[in-house]
Amino acid sequence: MGTAIEKVLSVQNVSKSFSSDGQSVKALDSISFDIPKGEVFGLLGPNGAGKTTLISILCGFLTPDKGKATLFGMDCTHESRQIKKRMNFVSGFSGVSEFFNAEELLTFYCMLYNIENPKERIVKALKATDIYEHRKRRPSCFSSGLKRRFLISKSLLNDPEMLLLDEPTVGLDVESASALRLLVKEMKQKGNTLLLTTHNMREAEELCDRIALIRKGRIIACGKFADLKKQFFPHEVIDVKCTKPDKIENVLSGIKSIVRFKKYSNGTKIYLANDKDIAKIINLISLADVGLLGINTIEPELEDLYTKIMDADNDD
């Protein structure tokens, strides 16, 4: 028998509605997913999809109308105080006090978290985020990148087993966002579990073990990128750029693995049921008189997958 996977977070049929201009607006609509220990899980969706509402429920700031969310087996609504000893939260929109330096603010948070050996924890958190040299400066005067790293330092003080990151790189410059992504990777290597909400496709593909796509409060797809790619992009695709695209179909007649051709102005895309004939197809095209300009296989990226699933859901 295999070892049971430890679930750190479980969201089961959670719904949440708000009142707006006398009407009820459903922010979350019966969403469900689990996150095992040590996983980086990405929740992707456009602004207003329900990502921040879910994070607020997990932190105990909001109560779901229906369903249940648990962290470490404890109810996020009724046992949030116990949960907060083992988790922490970083928002891309958090503010900081104008009156204290970084070290003083972190000392205050250590008091709130009831942390032993606060000086040791503060030094460790500041060094982990590479802002130790700025400890005597006020975070309110930091650049957006330094401010975000300070907020992550705060979230590391209690050495959380679970970290919730709500749009962590929003508004950051390229260098600061890159440093933050590196920190996420380091945390994963140490065995932390992370939930990352974002609408940054490249970030999600780089960091996440699994992703869930959320739209209008509903999870419309969930899984590993490779598995979702197989589900929504079932065909291998060869892109042939040439001056005589009309000849391609005749050149490749009789190859049974070809599902369809899609011609465009200066080439043809060839869709295949599998990859067994790719080498043969490339060879035939290379030898044929089609005015070949270039040929390559297409590997869909997360952004392609996101667009396709969102479009499909919109059609439904």
Radius of gyration of the chain (CA): 24
Write the pLDDT tens digit of every residue in 4-34: 568 899 999 999 999 877 788 899 999 999 9
Q: Please give the structure tokens belonging to residue 125.
A: 């958190």
User: Can you give the pLDDT at residue 302?
Assistant: 80
Window from 36-40, 262-266, 278-282 with minimum mean pLDDT:
262-266
| Backbone φ and ψ of 46, nearest 5° | -70, 170
For 51, what's the count of Cα atoms within 13 Å in the CB-facing half-sphere?
A: 26
Q: Which fold has domain 234-299?
A: Alpha-Beta Plaits (3.30.70)
The class of domain 7-86+160-230 in CATH terms is alpha beta
Strands 292-298 and 236-242: antiparallel
* Structure confidence at residue 3 as a pLDDT band (50, 70, 90): low
Task: Say if residues 27 and 16 touch (Cβ distance below 8 Å).
Answer: yes
Helix/strand/coil for 14: strand
Task: Say if residues 39 and 64 touch (Cβ distance below 8 Å).
Answer: no
- pTM attached to this predicted model: 0.78
Task: Say if residues 131 and 102 touch (Cβ distance below 8 Å).
Answer: yes
Share of the chain above pLDDT 90, in %: 47
**Cβ neighbourhood burial of 123 (10 Å; 0-12, 13-18, 19+):** middle
User: Can you give the pLDDT at residue 23?
Assistant: 85
Whether the per-residue pLDDT at 98 is higher than 80: the answer is no
Write the pLDDT tens digit of every residue in 172-193: 778 878 888 888 888 888 888 9
User: Can you give the pLDDT at residue 1?
Assistant: 46
Kindly list the domain boundaries of the chain, sorted by start residue.
Answer: 7-86+160-230, 234-299
Report long-range pairs for 141-149 (Cβ below 8 Å, ≥24 apart).
Answer: 143/176, 144/171, 144/172, 144/173, 144/176, 145/172, 145/173, 145/175, 145/176, 145/177, 145/179, 145/180, 146/176, 147/96, 148/90, 148/92, 148/172, 148/176, 148/180, 149/176, 149/179, 149/180, 149/183
